[in-house]
A and B are shown apart, each in its own frame.
Chain A
Amino acid sequence: MGHPYIPNTREVRGQMLKEIGVASVDELFTDISAKIRLRHKLKLPGPMSELEVKRHVRAILARNRPFTQILSFLGGGVWPHHIPAHVRELVRRSEFLTSYTPYQPEASQGMLQALFEYQSMICELTGMDAANASMYDWATSLGEAALMCARVTGRRKFIVPALINPERFSTLQNYVSGPGLELIKIGYDSRTGQLDVSQLRKELGQDVAGVYVENPSYLGFLETHVDKVAKAAHEAGALFVVGVNPISLGLLRAPGDYGADIVIGEGQPLGNPVSFGGPLLGIFACRDEVKLVRQMPGRLIGMTTALDGRTRGYVMVLQTREQHIRRERATSSICSNEALCGVAAAIYLASLGPRGLRELGEACAASANYAMRKLRAIKDLKVPIFDAPHFNEFTLNCDDVGMSVAKLNAELLKRDIHGGKPLRGEFPELGETSLMCVTELHTKEDIDRLASALAEIAG
């Protein structure tokens, strides 16, 4: 019997072998010496029919509790938002799904145009002039941004905030380890969380390639002095890199407006599911300056015409930056990226429009502020710990309750509520603090339920 994914049955394969004068299929593997030739079957599960696979995998996945079943307030780098049904349908169209890098642009205009639209919309959101067709995620985009700053300026130091997301920082360390760049952390105001601009100015010298801030920050508050940071960086000849959650950019000022040279971020919330943290979507955009654009990593889609000079079309451009041409001198080794996630983001943004994205941002911020207000009112909880405006994430401290975040979360879980991410391991100076996230998925009733649960537990 044949196999659904291998159309040539054993019989047909026998005929094919005969036709090309090969006695058996084993003859095609004689180039593999007997010493390394596998003589036993691999110890793997299966084969299973489609029905059995479904049963098996569903049984394993049933041991997950999705956030459609428990009320979750987790964020911190990947965020749950509503994905319109048509976004998921369109992105599953097999013409997109089963295609590959558009090496033959004539037959791949669909993907190319969709990615050009993605690039364009990211530019509008971020205030940048050029965006690539995706990186792996925010963390690796940050790594690449630091490398790019070093290449462009010829300098070796890169400055980051002390409250940087630790996973991103660790990834950044790995990326800069190649050329051996030095990373410097700048402290923050313990009351407001804001980046210490005077400490930054002290560190800014002739040897700083780039200054990086996250806005909103990892802990949810907005950096209100970004204009000053941009100015200080530029005066020292450094590039200014801003990391964002793009959902906030329907409401908040574009980083390009306050002096960013490079904008990176996590595009997952734009139309892509949380999916246990992957696949994600690394945003990477920069200003339109030759020395920047040519040092940008990743694929770039450009508009052109057919040879008739009139018909518009799209192709990969500036490929001479990339690995398949420059090899060891490439701006990056990145080849396959997160293209389809980028297309999902484009479709999502096209569906929301400026109004929808603004309303979404307002909804998230409003719900988060409502949550902060209700939780702050609970005795012994400090919500948020920083006196600053926030977007849709905030910190919650329970030191005075006399309970660890882990214990608090365990109690919440008994009530089918998932609390925020414990931060003590990452920032011990913040004590028993967790990171909470609120989106349009949370109703007023959900937040009220959280508040009464916490009141009960803390009481």
Chain B
Amino acid sequence: MRDGLYYSREHEWVKLEGKLARVGVTDYAQKKLGDIVYVEPPEVGKRVSQVKEKKTKDMELGAVESIKAVSIVYSPLSGSVKEVNSALQDRPELVNTSPYDEGWICLLEPSDPEAELKNLMDASKYAEFIKSLK
């Protein structure tokens, strides 16, 4: 994992960049999925809510697919989708090779990051979380 990022229990990471927030899936997630063959991007402009235990469609930011599994990408923060990473259309493997950099999935305009960040984990807490899953 990466320091300075926040993590959800669904294995998404989010990085605050001024007024925006960049979202992707973690190294743990890409390893579990295997070779990514396709990334289904969320719609630009879509309003999303921060993921909670009971999942609903408005928490979804598209999906990431390997040949044997599909994983829904959940939004770590509430807000709206400003931009999606178009590079992933031709090179979905970037999610595997560079999950925290080139493999970013979308940019959000978060509505209430300060309040919602406390529902996410920091790097060390996420590391513990992954350990507990094994």
Contact check, B38 vs A326: say whether CB atoms are below 8 A apart: no
Report the minimum CB–CB distance from B17 to chain A (whole Å). 28
Can you name the residue of chain A whose Cβ is closest to the Cβ of B40?
A: A294
Proximity bits, B40-79, A CB within 8 Å = 1, else 0 = 1000000000000000000000000111111000000000
Residues of B within 8 A of A325 (CB): 68-70
Taking a contact as CB atoms under 8 Å apart, the answer to whether B89 and A320 are in contact is no
Residues of chain A within 8 A (CB-CB) of B66 are: 320
Shortest Cβ gap from A148 to chain B (Å): 16
Residues of A within 8 A of B38 (CB): 294, 318, 320
Whether B70 and A326, one on each chain, are in contact in the complex, defined by CB atoms closer than 8 angstroms, is: yes
Determine whether A333 belongs to the interface, using a CB cutoff of 8 Å to chain B.
Answer: no
* Interfacial chain B residues near A318, Cβ < 8 Å: 38
Q: Are B69 and A290 in contact (CB under 8 A)?
A: no
Q: Which residues of A contact B68 (CB under 8 A)?
A: 319, 325
- CA separation between A320 and B38, bound complex, in Å? 10
Q: How far is the CB of A135 from chain B (nearest CB, A)?
A: 22
- Interchain nearest-CB distance for A439 vs B (Å): 43
* Max chain B Cβ within 10 angstroms of own Cβ: one of A294, A319, A329: A319
**Complex CA distance for A326 and B69, rounded to whole angstroms:** 8
Which residues from B are CB-within-8-Å of A319? 67-68
Q: How far is the CA of A294 from the CA of B65 in the complex (A)?
A: 12
Give the residue name and chain of the A residue nearest to B65 (CB): A320
- Residues on A with C-beta less than 8 A from B65 are 320
- The A282-296 residues at the B interface (CB cut-off 8 A) are 290, 294
Contact partners of A326 in chain B: CB under 8 A: 70
Main secondary structure of the interface of A (DSSP, over half): helix
- Minimum Cβ distance to chain A for residue B25 (Å): 16
Q: How far is the CB of B55 from chain A (nearest CB, A)?
A: 12
B89 to chain A, nearest CB (A): 7
Chain A contacts for B70, CB-based, 8 A: 320, 325-326, 329
- Within the complex, the shortest CB–CB distance from B12 to chain A, in Å, comes to 19
B72 → chain A closest CB, angstroms:
9
User: Residue of A at shortest CB range from B89?
Assistant: A290
A303 to chain B, nearest CB (A): 15
Q: What 1/0 mask marks residues of chain A from 317 to 343 whose CB sits below 8 Å from any chain B CB? A: 011100001100100000000000000
Nearest CB to that of A329 among chain B residues? B70
A326 to B72 alpha-carbon distance, docked (Å) = 11
B68-115 interface (Cβ within 8 A of A): 68-70, 89
Quote the shortest CB–CB distance from A247 to chain B (angstroms).
Answer: 36
CB distance from A288 to the nearest CB of B (A): 14
In the bound complex, CA of A320 to CA of B66 (Å): 8
Instruction: With CB as the reference atom, state the residue of chain A lying closest to B72.
Output: A329
Which chain A residue lies CB-closest to B71?
A320
Give the contacting residue for B69; candidates A294, A320, A329; CB below 8 A: A320
Residue of B38, B65, B89 with highest tally of chain A CB at under 10 A = B65
* Bound Cα distance A326, B37 (Å): 15
Q: Which residue on B lies nearest to A324, using beta carbons? A: B68
Q: Mark A118-160, 1 if CB is under 8 A from B, else 0.
A: 0000000000000000000000000000000000000000000
* Bound: A158/B86 CA distance, A: 31
- CB neighbours of B40 from chain A (8 A): 294
> In the complex, what residue of chain B is closest to A291 when comparing beta carbons?
B40
Counting chain B CB atoms within 10 Å of each CB, which of A319, A320, A325 scores highest? A320
Write out the residue numbers on chain B whose beta carbons fall within 8 Å of the beta carbon of A294: 38, 40
List B contacts of A320 (CB < 8 A): 37-38, 65-67, 69-70
Q: Smallest Cβ distance from A221 to chain B, in angstroms?
A: 42
> In chain B, what residue has the closest Cβ to A315?
B67
Q: B89 contacts which chain A residues (CB < 8 A)?
A: 290
Give bound CA distance, A318 to B67, whole Å: 7
| A44 to B38 alpha-carbon distance, docked (Å) | 52
In the bound complex, what is the Cα–Cα distance between A185 and B68 (angstroms)? 41
A74 to B107, CA, bound (A): 60
Mark interface residues in A292-320 (1 if CB within 8 Å of B CB, else 0).
00100000000000000000000000111
Contacts of A329 in B (CB 8 A): 70
Minimum C-beta distance from B71 to chain A (A) = 10
Distance of A325 Cα from B71 Cα, bound (Å) = 10
Least CB distance, A171 to chain B, in whole angstroms: 29
- Shortest CB distance B10–A (Å): 16
Give chain A interface residues in 69-83, CB to chain B under 8 Å: none
* A297 CB to nearest chain B CB (Å): 16
* B62 nearest CB across to chain A (Å): 12
Cβ distance A306 to chain B, nearest Cβ, rounded Å? 16
Specify the chain A residue showing the minimal Cβ separation from B68: A325
Give Cα distance in the complex from A329 to B37, angstroms.
18
Residue of B nearest to A154 (CB): B43
Complex: how many Å from CA A414 to CA B67? 60
* Across the A-B interface, the 4 shortest Cβ-Cβ residue pairs: A320-B65, A320-B70, A326-B70, A325-B70
- Could you list which residues of chain B lie within 8 angstroms of chain A, going by C-beta atoms? 37-38, 40, 65-70, 89
Please give 7 more A-B residue pairs, beta carbons under 8 A apart, in addition to A294-B40, A318-B38, A320-B66: A290-B89, A319-B67, A319-B68, A320-B38, A320-B65, A320-B67, A320-B69
Contact sample, A vs B, 18 pairs, CB 8 Å cutoff:
A290-B89, A294-B38, A294-B40, A318-B38, A319-B67, A319-B68, A320-B37, A320-B38, A320-B65, A320-B66, A320-B67, A320-B69, A320-B70, A325-B68, A325-B69, A325-B70, A326-B70, A329-B70
